[in-house]
Amino acid sequence: MAAILLIVILALSLNRDLFLFLHFWLRQIRQDGVWEVLTFFGDAGVTPLIMIWFIARRPDLVWATLWASLLAYMISHGLKPLVNELRPPAVLDHLDVLGPYLKYSSFPSGHATTIFTCVGLLTLGLPTRGVSTILLWIIGIAVALSRIAVGVHWPIDVLAGLIIGWLSASCGLWLVSRYKSDYRRYYGIPLTVLLLLVLFNLFGEPYGFKNLWYLQKAIALITAFMWFKFTRDWYRSRNV
Protein backbone atom coordinates (compact mmCIF):
# COMPACT_ATOMS: atom_id res chain seq x y z
CA MET A 1 0.00 0.00 0.00
CA ALA A 2 2.79 2.44 0.91
CA ALA A 3 4.57 1.68 -2.36
CA ILE A 4 1.37 2.28 -4.34
CA LEU A 5 0.76 5.61 -2.59
CA LEU A 6 4.35 6.67 -3.24
CA ILE A 7 4.03 5.88 -6.95
CA VAL A 8 0.69 7.71 -7.21
CA ILE A 9 2.07 10.80 -5.48
CA LEU A 10 5.07 10.89 -7.81
CA ALA A 11 3.04 10.17 -10.94
CA LEU A 12 0.52 12.93 -10.21
CA SER A 13 3.12 15.38 -8.81
CA LEU A 14 1.21 15.67 -5.54
CA ASN A 15 4.19 15.71 -3.20
CA ARG A 16 4.35 19.46 -2.54
CA ASP A 17 0.58 20.06 -2.34
CA LEU A 18 0.07 17.05 -0.09
CA PHE A 19 2.86 18.21 2.21
CA LEU A 20 1.32 21.67 2.57
CA PHE A 21 -2.12 20.22 3.30
CA LEU A 22 -0.84 17.69 5.86
CA HIS A 23 1.61 20.08 7.50
CA PHE A 24 -0.94 22.78 8.30
CA TRP A 25 -3.74 20.31 9.10
CA LEU A 26 -1.57 18.31 11.51
CA ARG A 27 -0.37 21.45 13.27
CA GLN A 28 -3.99 22.57 13.75
CA ILE A 29 -5.29 19.33 15.28
CA ARG A 30 -2.43 18.83 17.78
CA GLN A 31 -0.21 21.13 19.83
CA ASP A 32 3.42 21.55 18.79
CA GLY A 33 4.65 19.69 21.88
CA VAL A 34 2.81 16.53 20.80
CA TRP A 35 4.60 16.46 17.46
CA GLU A 36 7.95 17.11 19.12
CA VAL A 37 7.48 14.11 21.42
CA LEU A 38 6.30 11.88 18.58
CA THR A 39 9.23 12.80 16.34
CA PHE A 40 11.59 12.22 19.29
CA PHE A 41 10.40 8.60 19.48
CA GLY A 42 11.39 8.07 15.86
CA ASP A 43 15.05 8.90 16.41
CA ALA A 44 17.48 6.10 15.64
CA GLY A 45 19.16 6.65 18.99
CA VAL A 46 15.93 6.21 20.96
CA THR A 47 13.61 3.80 19.13
CA PRO A 48 15.78 0.64 19.40
CA LEU A 49 15.62 0.99 23.19
CA ILE A 50 11.90 0.18 22.99
CA MET A 51 12.83 -3.37 22.00
CA ILE A 52 14.40 -3.98 25.42
CA TRP A 53 10.87 -4.01 26.84
CA PHE A 54 9.97 -7.06 24.74
CA ILE A 55 13.10 -9.23 24.59
CA ALA A 56 12.09 -11.23 27.67
CA ARG A 57 9.23 -12.67 25.58
CA ARG A 58 11.35 -13.17 22.48
CA PRO A 59 15.08 -13.16 23.34
CA ASP A 60 16.01 -13.58 19.67
CA LEU A 61 14.64 -10.05 19.10
CA VAL A 62 17.95 -8.81 20.53
CA TRP A 63 19.78 -10.00 17.43
CA ALA A 64 16.88 -9.21 15.10
CA THR A 65 16.90 -5.62 16.37
CA LEU A 66 20.61 -5.27 15.72
CA TRP A 67 20.48 -6.70 12.18
CA ALA A 68 17.33 -4.78 11.23
CA SER A 69 18.62 -1.49 12.68
CA LEU A 70 21.95 -1.78 10.88
CA LEU A 71 20.26 -2.59 7.58
CA ALA A 72 17.71 0.22 7.93
CA TYR A 73 20.44 2.72 8.84
CA MET A 74 22.68 1.74 5.92
CA ILE A 75 19.86 1.89 3.37
CA SER A 76 18.31 5.16 4.55
CA HIS A 77 21.61 6.99 5.06
CA GLY A 78 23.03 5.49 1.88
CA LEU A 79 20.12 6.85 -0.17
CA LYS A 80 20.20 10.34 1.35
CA PRO A 81 23.41 11.55 -0.35
CA LEU A 82 22.56 9.69 -3.57
CA VAL A 83 19.11 11.25 -3.96
CA ASN A 84 20.11 14.49 -2.22
CA GLU A 85 16.55 15.84 -2.19
CA LEU A 86 15.99 19.28 -0.72
CA ARG A 87 13.81 19.37 2.38
CA PRO A 88 10.69 21.56 2.63
CA PRO A 89 12.47 24.41 4.51
CA ALA A 90 14.88 24.78 1.59
CA VAL A 91 12.05 25.02 -0.94
CA LEU A 92 9.16 26.71 0.84
CA ASP A 93 9.35 30.24 2.24
CA HIS A 94 8.20 31.15 5.75
CA LEU A 95 7.70 27.55 6.83
CA ASP A 96 7.17 27.13 10.59
CA VAL A 97 9.69 24.42 11.50
CA LEU A 98 9.83 22.72 14.89
CA GLY A 99 13.30 21.71 16.00
CA PRO A 100 16.44 21.83 13.81
CA TYR A 101 16.07 23.78 10.57
CA LEU A 102 17.17 21.03 8.16
CA LYS A 103 17.49 21.71 4.43
CA TYR A 104 19.22 18.78 2.72
CA SER A 105 19.19 14.98 2.38
CA SER A 106 15.44 14.60 2.73
CA PHE A 107 14.80 11.22 1.06
CA PRO A 108 14.05 8.91 2.79
CA SER A 109 12.87 9.86 6.28
CA GLY A 110 15.22 8.29 8.81
CA HIS A 111 12.63 8.65 11.58
CA ALA A 112 9.94 6.89 9.55
CA THR A 113 12.45 4.17 8.68
CA THR A 114 13.39 3.70 12.33
CA ILE A 115 9.88 3.59 13.79
CA PHE A 116 8.64 1.15 11.16
CA THR A 117 11.64 -1.07 11.69
CA CYS A 118 10.43 -1.28 15.28
CA VAL A 119 6.78 -1.76 14.25
CA GLY A 120 7.82 -4.51 11.85
CA LEU A 121 9.93 -6.30 14.47
CA LEU A 122 7.08 -6.29 16.99
CA THR A 123 4.29 -7.09 14.54
CA LEU A 124 6.13 -9.92 12.81
CA GLY A 125 8.35 -11.01 15.69
CA LEU A 126 6.07 -11.42 18.69
CA PRO A 127 3.60 -11.60 16.80
CA THR A 128 0.91 -9.15 17.84
CA ARG A 129 -2.79 -9.50 17.16
CA GLY A 130 -5.95 -7.40 17.01
CA VAL A 131 -5.85 -4.27 19.13
CA SER A 132 -2.09 -4.52 19.75
CA THR A 133 -1.32 -4.54 16.04
CA ILE A 134 -3.67 -1.64 15.35
CA LEU A 135 -2.14 0.36 18.21
CA LEU A 136 1.39 -0.28 16.94
CA TRP A 137 0.44 0.92 13.46
CA ILE A 138 -1.30 4.01 14.82
CA ILE A 139 1.81 4.93 16.82
CA GLY A 140 4.07 4.22 13.85
CA ILE A 141 1.99 6.32 11.47
CA ALA A 142 1.75 9.15 14.03
CA VAL A 143 5.54 9.22 14.47
CA ALA A 144 6.05 9.15 10.69
CA LEU A 145 3.52 11.95 10.14
CA SER A 146 5.27 14.01 12.82
CA ARG A 147 8.12 14.51 10.36
CA ILE A 148 5.68 16.32 8.06
CA ALA A 149 4.14 18.17 10.99
CA VAL A 150 7.49 19.54 12.20
CA GLY A 151 8.19 20.58 8.61
CA VAL A 152 11.32 18.65 7.58
CA HIS A 153 10.09 15.82 5.33
CA TRP A 154 7.93 15.33 2.24
CA PRO A 155 5.21 12.66 2.07
CA ILE A 156 7.30 10.51 -0.29
CA ASP A 157 10.15 10.56 2.26
CA VAL A 158 7.84 9.17 4.92
CA LEU A 159 6.36 6.48 2.66
CA ALA A 160 9.82 5.38 1.55
CA GLY A 161 10.91 5.19 5.20
CA LEU A 162 7.91 3.00 6.01
CA ILE A 163 8.84 0.58 3.21
CA ILE A 164 12.54 0.45 4.13
CA GLY A 165 11.77 -0.03 7.83
CA TRP A 166 9.33 -2.88 7.22
CA LEU A 167 11.69 -4.66 4.82
CA SER A 168 14.61 -4.22 7.23
CA ALA A 169 12.59 -5.74 10.08
CA SER A 170 11.64 -8.68 7.86
CA CYS A 171 15.28 -9.25 6.92
CA GLY A 172 16.42 -9.01 10.55
CA LEU A 173 13.90 -11.62 11.66
CA TRP A 174 14.80 -13.87 8.72
CA LEU A 175 18.51 -13.75 9.61
CA VAL A 176 17.72 -14.74 13.20
CA SER A 177 15.55 -17.66 12.08
CA ARG A 178 18.22 -18.70 9.58
CA TYR A 179 20.96 -18.88 12.24
CA LYS A 180 18.79 -19.76 15.23
CA SER A 181 21.25 -22.28 16.62
CA ASP A 182 24.00 -19.68 17.09
CA TYR A 183 22.39 -16.49 18.38
CA ARG A 184 22.09 -17.55 22.05
CA ARG A 185 25.85 -17.88 22.41
CA TYR A 186 26.58 -14.33 21.35
CA TYR A 187 23.99 -12.19 23.11
CA GLY A 188 26.80 -10.06 24.50
CA ILE A 189 27.30 -8.32 21.13
CA PRO A 190 23.82 -6.81 20.63
CA LEU A 191 23.44 -6.27 24.38
CA THR A 192 26.62 -4.17 24.34
CA VAL A 193 25.24 -2.08 21.45
CA LEU A 194 21.99 -1.53 23.36
CA LEU A 195 23.97 -0.56 26.48
CA LEU A 196 25.88 2.04 24.47
CA LEU A 197 22.56 3.51 23.30
CA VAL A 198 21.30 3.58 26.89
CA LEU A 199 24.43 5.41 28.06
CA PHE A 200 24.30 7.80 25.13
CA ASN A 201 20.74 8.77 26.04
CA LEU A 202 21.53 8.93 29.73
CA PHE A 203 24.48 11.30 29.38
CA GLY A 204 23.86 12.88 25.96
CA GLU A 205 21.73 15.79 24.83
CA PRO A 206 18.18 15.44 23.44
CA TYR A 207 17.96 15.04 19.67
CA GLY A 208 17.07 18.56 18.55
CA PHE A 209 14.57 19.33 21.33
CA LYS A 210 16.12 20.69 24.54
CA ASN A 211 12.74 20.66 26.30
CA LEU A 212 12.64 16.85 26.10
CA TRP A 213 15.68 16.42 28.35
CA TYR A 214 13.69 14.86 31.22
CA LEU A 215 11.84 12.49 28.89
CA GLN A 216 15.09 11.27 27.38
CA LYS A 217 16.63 10.62 30.81
CA ALA A 218 13.51 8.84 32.07
CA ILE A 219 13.53 6.50 29.06
CA ALA A 220 17.26 5.86 29.51
CA LEU A 221 16.86 5.01 33.23
CA ILE A 222 13.92 2.66 32.65
CA THR A 223 15.62 0.84 29.79
CA ALA A 224 18.87 0.66 31.77
CA PHE A 225 17.03 -1.21 34.53
CA MET A 226 15.40 -3.59 32.05
CA TRP A 227 18.69 -4.12 30.22
CA PHE A 228 20.40 -5.02 33.51
CA LYS A 229 17.63 -7.48 34.45
CA PHE A 230 17.65 -9.25 31.10
CA THR A 231 21.46 -9.36 30.95
CA ARG A 232 21.64 -10.79 34.48
CA ASP A 233 19.10 -13.51 33.65
CA TRP A 234 20.91 -14.38 30.42
CA TYR A 235 24.29 -14.57 32.20
CA ARG A 236 22.86 -16.82 34.90
CA SER A 237 21.28 -19.12 32.31
CA ARG A 238 24.68 -19.58 30.67
CA ASN A 239 26.22 -20.75 33.94
CA VAL A 240 23.51 -23.16 35.02
Element (H, E) at 111: helix 110-125
pLDDT tens-digit map of 185-205: 677 788 888 899 999 999 887
Q: What is the pTM of this model?
A: 0.92
Q: Label residue 232 by pLDDT band (50, 70, 90).
A: confident
Nearest alpha-carbon partner for 113 in 173, 193, 167, 64 = 167
Q: Is 139 left (phi over 0), alpha (psi -120 to 50) or beta?
A: alpha
Q: Give the domains, in start order, of the chain with CATH numbers.
A: 19-184 (1.20.144.10)
Q: Are 67 and 175 in contact (CB under 8 A)?
A: yes
Highest mean pLDDT among 127-131, 161-165, 199-203, 208-212: 161-165
Q: Label residue 67 by pLDDT band (50, 70, 90).
A: very high
Q: Are 207 and 40 in contact (CB under 8 A)?
A: yes
Nearest alpha-carbon partner for 117 in 155, 173, 156 = 173
pLDDT tens-digit map of 68-116: 999 999 999 999 999 999 999 999 988 999 988 899 999 999 999 999 9
**180 pLDDT exceeds 70?**
no
Determine the Cα–Cα distance for residues 176 and 155; give it in Å rounded to an integer: 32
